[in-house]
Amino acid sequence: MKKVFSLLFIALFVALCLVPFLGLLLGHGSGAAANQVLAVMPSPTKKDGSLNPDYPEGLSRYVNDRFFLRQEAVTLWAELNAKLLGSSVTKDVLCGTDGWLYFTPTLPDCTRSGLMSQRELWCAARRLALLQEYAEAQDGQFLFVIAPNKNSLYPEHMPALPRAEATSNAEALLSLLAEQDVAALDLFALFRAQDEALYYPRDTHWNVKGAALAADALLAALGRESAYFGADFAEAGHRSDLYEMLFPAGTENDPDFLYTPGFSFTASSTNADSIRLTTQCGTGEGSLLMYRDSFGRALYPYLAERFEEASFSRKDDYDPTALAPGGCLVIELCERNLKKLPAAPILLPAPERDAALVRGAAPGEGVSKIVLAKDGPEGYTVLCGDLAGIRPEDDSPVYLEAGGTLYEALPGAEDYRLCLPEEALQGPIRVYFRSAGGWICLEGRIEN
């Protein structure tokens, strides 16, 4: 009898192990959860007909991503860890108190372990200043907006972590922007002044009411009136991204709101996450060009309503040449991604500068190696160059002389980028920047 029970137990165990794979074979595989990218079915052979040595590994990844009841099994394991140990089984999700979840990539900002250098901060501020200069030259307006990390506003639910006493990237950048007279909106103080939490407990982003608060402040900074935050909202539910990443088969929602007055504009797509979204027929006047990230998902309807036409882009190759004369150029970037600004592929026609700025520059050792980028605005050539390993001063601009004209480049920590008129690349190229207390000049050499 004991042997029979042992055999039955073994048979049951084998059957349970086979269920996920049999379900996959019968067409009942699991789909993707949250932002998961599923492995594709590999080919057993290469294009030349030879055997693919990576086929077993690729097949293993394919099956592991899709086996039957995978999401349910992952969710059960995650719930056991969260409830019994207070820990997350997903590297991008951090379990806080009272059921709150945080996005792990925001921890360097929270603990001050991912601070930008003074050079990187200055370059980020200068790049935004150049974007503002271009917008104002088109009789337009410019505004930079930082969407705060959730743990910057609501740290009380965070687990205890060591934190250095230092100025955050956001605080330091806002200070530098003020020094350069760049229009920037401080949402940190605004959100901290509210009595209610305006971010989802189990999501990375602000909720619908939080987006309304941000929209009111943004529009006010552009000189436009709105009163979204004080309007009527109905209760709703929200499928939160961090919750779905941790519990892919979970069915719970975070509490949310619905802006009941509604909107009158028309949009090019019903997908708020479209890479490019255009709107028309809002109740306001003028045009808006906005570059935004995922925080713009809930934000954009409020803004679209206050402009006759608007364009929202999720790309980071900010192109102000798409700005209509007299329009508003807005860049919204979440706090954790500020470090991308010093290297962002901005497509900005380089402004001309007075050659007297670099008069008397001393020859520097080395050559600035320049690469021609493939894409750029029509009629322009995009150049990317280095500084020959020479460390520039933290607050040094970078200038490039080409075709007898001096241009200001978009500065990087150890490099630069600029868009020049195609006809400017005639004759010698020289690169100027400050280092060790004085201006130096490097020969610029274009490499194929």
Residue 230 lies in a domain: yes
CB 264 within 8 A of CB 283: yes
Q: Are 194 and 335 members of one domain?
A: yes
Tally of domains in the chain: 2
425 and 317 share one domain: no
Q: Are residues 320 and 363 in the same domain?
A: no
Q: Are residues 214 and 313 in the same domain?
A: yes
Considering the domain boundaries, does residue 289 fall inside one?
yes
Same-domain check for residues 220 and 125: yes
Sign of the dihedral through C-alpha 164, 168, 169, 175? negative
pLDDT at residue 243, rounded to an integer: 87
Domain end call among 314, 343, 372: 343
Residues 140 and 280 in one domain: yes
Residue 62 has a pLDDT of 56
Q: Is the residue at 213 inside a domain?
A: yes
Q: How many Cβ atoms from other residues are within 10 Å of residue 170's Cβ?
A: 22
Q: Are residues 324 and 374 in the same domain?
A: no
**Rounded Cα–Cα distance for residues 429 and 132 (Å):** 27
Q: Are residues 114 and 242 in the same domain?
A: yes
In this structure, the answer to whether residues 133 and 282 fall within a common structural domain is yes
Paired residues of 266 in beta bridges: 280
* Domain contains 5: no
* Shared-domain flag, residues 375 and 231: no
CA-CA distance, 166 to 73, in Å (whole number)? 42
Instruction: Examine residue 17 and state whether it is found in any structural domain, yes or no.
Output: no
Instruction: State whether 305 and 406 are in the same domain.
Output: no
pLDDT of residue 376: 73
Which CATH number goes with the domain that contains 406?
A: 2.60.40
Range of the domain at 128: 103-160+167-343
351 vs 407: CA distance, rounded Å: 6
pLDDT block averages, 10 residues each, the chain of length 448: 56 47 46 55 67 60 52 61 72 93 94 95 98 97 98 93 88 97 97 97 97 98 96 95 86 95 95 94 95 96 97 92 95 97 93 94 92 80 94 96 94 94 87 95 90
Report the predicted TM-score, pTM, of the whole model to 2 decimal places. Answer: 0.85
Domain limit, last residue, from 286, 317, 343: 343
Residues 243 and 180 in one domain: yes
In a domain, 87, yes or no: no
For residue 92, being part of any structural domain is answered with no
Whether 42 maps to a domain, the answer reads: no
